[in-house]
Chains A and B, each alone.
Chain A
């Protein structure tokens, strides 16, 4: 049924911390691994060992270069930072991918707000992917059906798994703890508190989709990391010189160091 539920009782979703994501792509790889054997058809690859490999992924990591500006609004290129940006379905409250679906294959669950595709009903017209501003849906070229993040619906309610594994695969695999899973409808939940404290944001709010997933913006750089605080730098250089000046290398170098320490 492609009518959206009024207000889902729960809004399960992800909170992604752009401050600490290290861009390792482990979440994307574990997502592919879990979901190719889990819910629905396998996530196929085309020409996997050839010159132009492509395939279906439900999670992709883009990396951006962000140059901050100073108080006067001028760019400070020396403070440029890399922000790794994982992107998957945001399980929007007003999900246009659901309402455009002609078959009812695309739906949003009333009980927890998860947006899913019933792959037995999907005709593979691709209109939902066009309706999504975020590029969260990818057609599987082998199965001819639309694939998307299921929020690992086959993990989070799975009593056969140990409790710590009942979270989406991407959250479980993140080595930096940059991904968090929870109920964003509950203001007391860990994820909601995190969003409130860190000023979590919606992606493309102007598109009017009201995404459930939130992104925590990178924290401002600490004073000692900024290019203004350069008094630390010469000390480091001096220290390095001191430590290396005596290093002649080889046996004599070792002898020099060892005798100096006496």
Chain B
């Protein structure tokens, strides 16, 4: 599948934003953190991240001026649900933040609700891809698990950054990093075993020409690439897939983990460790997400003899 930059940016950045929103809401609701200027800045940053992601997702649209219409079909469409949930989550968080700022304390249940809405939003984002049966690699419960895991890990590194005196947050960040990449390894393991024919789709079922000893494309309908081939028969990613997986693991897991260990166990300054850790993690996620799209195979490629 064609890896659109705007969609890669959207899925990774808004995941980090909603992850941080969820963690801030929970920590403040249960008194694990105090509401100060640092946390307030973090909350604003989280809103900026998730909004930037959402806005960038409109850049790949053919008619972005009509994007508001995407809020209407929440009954059937995961993309619509994602839009509705993200606005609802951001709205609730802003209200909750305002009341916390003005009254010094905000109702616990709203904080829990915001965290729950964050998880639902990320789940809906992942379901946009996981629902697609013609792309067997994506069509798995592991896909939302990965998205949730990475939202948690990126949010947690940011949370560790804003709570430098809290030893536990750095350790939870390390744990969530390991968990998220563990799920991703499972996802890759499944993906490698899940070809385009996972549901039994072959050129024979695609054309109804069953019962032949051999069937192959003799002549394509067109000589140059069309929309379908550019969008769904994207083949560049597969060539360097293994190297790119190691790069994403190195950037997204190994480097941030080492930096968090330095901060947590060798009393290196948290700001000098968690900030680059977040940068490396996001860079690793960009590579991971690029591969997520570029490696995915769509059954329509069967018609083109691929």
Interface of A with B (CB < 8 Å)? 1-3, 18, 23, 25, 28, 52-57, 60-69, 73-76, 82-83, 85, 87, 96, 98-105, 121-127, 129-135, 138-141, 143-145, 201-208, 215, 217-218
Contacts and interface: CB of A to CB of B under 8 A. Distances in A.
Nearest to A209: B133
Interface stretch (B24-32, B159-167, B215-223, B238-246): B215-223
B189 interface: no
Nearest to B222: A60
27 contacts: A3-B75, A3-B76, A53-B224, A62-B217, A62-B221, A64-B216, A65-B214, A65-B215, A65-B216, A65-B218, A73-B213, A96-B132, A101-B77, A102-B73, A102-B83, A103-B72, A121-B66, A123-B67, A123-B69, A135-B300, A138-B226, A138-B227, A139-B227, A139-B231, A203-B206, A206-B199, A217-B209
Given A99-B77, A103-B66, A127-B128, 19 more contacts: A60-B222, A63-B219, A64-B218, A67-B214, A68-B212, A102-B71, A103-B69, A103-B80, A123-B67, A129-B228, A131-B131, A133-B300, A134-B300, A134-B303, A139-B231, A145-B63, A201-B210, A203-B205, A204-B299
Best-surrounded residue of B1, B69, B304 (most CB of chain A within 10 A): B69
A105 B205 CA distance: 30
Contacts of B205: 203-206
A16 B14 CA distance: 46
A65 to B, nearest CB: 4
A46 to B, nearest CB: 10
B156 interface: no
B78 to A, nearest CB: 7
Given A66-B215, A76-B213, A204-B206, A102 B61 contact: no
B206 A66 contact: no
Contacts of A63: 217-219
B208 interface: yes
B227 A102 contact: no
B134 to A, nearest CB: 4
B61 A124 contact: yes
B232 interface: yes
Contacts of B184: none
Contacts of B213: 67-69, 73-76
A91 to B, nearest CB: 16
| Number of chain B interface residues as a range | 35 or more
Given A55-B226, A123-B70, A130-B231, A207 B212 contact: no
Given A60-B222, A102-B83, A145-B63, A130 B208 contact: no
Contacts of B62: 122-126, 139-140, 143-145
A203 B204 CA distance: 9
A60 B300 CA distance: 13
A197 to B, nearest CB: 16
Contacts of A133: 133-134, 201, 206, 299-300
Contact of B76 (A2, A25, A143, A218): A2
Interface in B110-150: 128, 131-135
Contact of A129 (B72, B83, B227, B304): B227
